[in-house]
Chain A
Amino acid sequence: MTSTGANGAPPFEMTAGRVRLDGREVLHGIDLRVEPGEVLAVLGANGSGKSTLIRALLGLVPLSGGRTHIYGSPPARFRDWKRVGYVPQRLTVGGGVPATVREVVASGRIARQSRLRPFSSAADRAAVRRALETVGLADRAGHPAQRLSGGQQQRVLIARALAGEPDVFVMDEPTAGVDAASQAALARTLRELVRQGRTIVLVAHELGPLEPLITRAVVVEAGRIAHTGAPPAPEGECARPGHQHLHPHAPGTEPAPLTTWNPA
């Protein structure tokens, strides 16, 4: 499996990216290059534009200025979608008709399937089984996904992306509103993906147990990248397991802008 495009292009590269939503500019000239194999955390407060940024990387919202490439191609001309796995920010699996966990996860194989072959192959079934085992839901395959708990539904959505066996994962707030067990399952899953050398871009409000896995963080603030580099590391008291990471800075000081991604 190669981790760059045929011409050595990185998974994502945005240059001076601007996005307007409803006539208001929400991203003001973003430069971001995601290198193969890195685990990039996109941090920021609610409304900072971090979700819009990753949706723009995928071509789900059009740019009003600048350009963005997926493995060297603009999203509209990108064809190799099996290399990309997207986990949207959703509280539930969605849809007005019940669907089993297996059905939802199997739909993640779509970029690898041909219409001429309407039934799933042995490879499809094996990938779905592996994805379910990775997120710890193998025993729930036949259950209606909509009736699982919120954290379990989030794991179903992650398993759907895993089933496609992509090179790069884009996850929008995979930890939001998720119970501790599901957070731990997610951290386990990500560790395995990192071991396999996959690229991960994830939006987060707070990193929690994912923190040790992050290789680089960008902080989005009011539609601009305000900080890029190592993730704000917990120290001393904050590094203790189980610590409620309320305030990453010295006590007594005013909250710095960077803390806005982690209100408790």
Chain B
Amino acid sequence: MIDLLRYDFMRIALVLAVLIGLTAPAVGTFIVQRRLALLGDGIGHIALTGIGLGLLTSTSPVLGALVVSVLGAVAIEVLRARSRTGGDVALALLFYGGLAGGVLLTNLRGGGSGLQSYLFGSITSVTVEDLYVVAALAAAVLAIVALFGRELFLLCQDEEVARASGLPARALSLLIAVTAAVTVVIAMRAIGLLLVSALMVVPVAAAQQLTRGFRDTMLTAMGIGVLSAVSGLVGSFEYDLPPGPSIVLLALAVYLLLVLWRTIGDSVIRRDRRSRTLPSSPKEATADAEVRR
């Protein structure tokens, strides 16, 4: 581990991994709460067109991805709010358009080789300048989560009650979508656009196996995110594996372990209860049953 820190690119990559591990699950908690777990995937597809534009115009692919994915997120939110039915088809059209557009634009420039690093990530090619941009974006995302967390929680819990509490529901929905888009761009260099959504969703799903509350879920998910990102990165360096997939598979492994842990824990509790004397009153028994599941 100390050896790794001798390399400049590795120090940069580690800082990046920590930033991604913190931001992606923080935003992801709201997205999962809102039952939009695949939003990150959609934005990732759309961002590809931005990459293509950036490569084609020889400007910055990261900037192109940022602009296009923010616009895409706004478009998704507008479509979602406008269409009561068929919204998912509209979203699908947007996703495929983004993916096809990205591949086409990159090929126009000659050869799609540049695309590979954005599709699956190449964390070790990140420069110090990239890191500054990502750090600023990550700080912005975390500030939004801290400042608007209360409003976003109610919005994601129940949009109508949020509106009947005087919250600007449309503006806050846009804020979530745009924050998710920025997070996709942050994580893109490290784990790639096709896998970026995993780090927004998997740590949250894993954390839920342990937690009872929203805040606890978010903090635990951020912990799992940092753990998977850093150990995935180190592991991939040690064993010469691609970092993006390593990070995602580690997060999935954590999820599976926690599911297993909980299943065993639950069955032990059940057996324990059965072996003890029956509850003193039937009322107590139903109260117990109500709480457990």
Contact = CB atoms under 8 A, between A and B. Distances in A.
Interface stretch (A3-11, A102-110, A186-194, A212-220): A102-110
A78 B164 CA distance: 10
Interface string B165-183: 1110000000000000000
B35 A86 contact: no
A140 B212 contact: no
B9 interface: no
Given A94-B157, A160-B161, A110 B29 contact: no
Nearest to B210: A98
Interface string B149-172: 111011011101111111100000
B167 A97 contact: no
A95 B157 contact: yes
A96 B33 contact: yes
Contact of A152 (B34, B153, B165, B290): B290
A95 B166 contact: no
B270 interface: no
A259 interface: no
Interface stretch (B49-57, B213-221, B231-239): B213-221
A44 to B, nearest CB: 20
A93 interface: yes
B32 A118 contact: no
Interface stretch (A143-151, A196-204, A231-239, A245-253): A143-151
A93 B166 contact: no
B215 A103 contact: yes
Interface residues of A, number: 42
B114 to A, nearest CB: 36
Interface string B31-66: 011110100000000000000000000000000000
B223 to A, nearest CB: 15
A115 interface: yes
Nearest to A139: B287
Nearest to A149: B290
Nearest to B37: A96
Tell me the interface secondary structure of chain B in the complex.
helix
Nearest to B34: A96
B290 A147 contact: yes
Given A100-B213, A142-B212, A111 B165 contact: yes
The number of chain B residues touching the other chain, given as a range, is 35 or more
A96 to B, nearest CB: 5
Interface in A73-106: 78-79, 81-82, 84, 86, 88, 90, 93-100, 102-104
A166 B173 CA distance: 25
B213 A79 contact: no
Contact of A118 (B146, B153, B157): B146
Contact of A99 (B34, B213, B291): B213
A60 interface: yes
Interface string A119-163: 000000000000000000000101110011100100000001000
B150 A60 contact: no
B148 interface: yes
Contacts of A94: 157-158
B214 A93 contact: no
Nearest to A93: B157
A113 interface: yes
Interface of A: 22, 55, 58-60, 78-79, 81-82, 84, 86, 88, 90, 93-100, 102-104, 107-108, 110-111, 113, 115, 118, 140, 142-144, 147-149, 152, 160, 164, 170
18 contacts: A55-B160, A79-B166, A81-B166, A84-B164, A86-B164, A97-B32, A98-B213, A100-B214, A104-B157, A110-B150, A110-B165, A113-B150, A115-B147, A115-B148, A115-B150, A115-B151, A149-B290, A160-B161
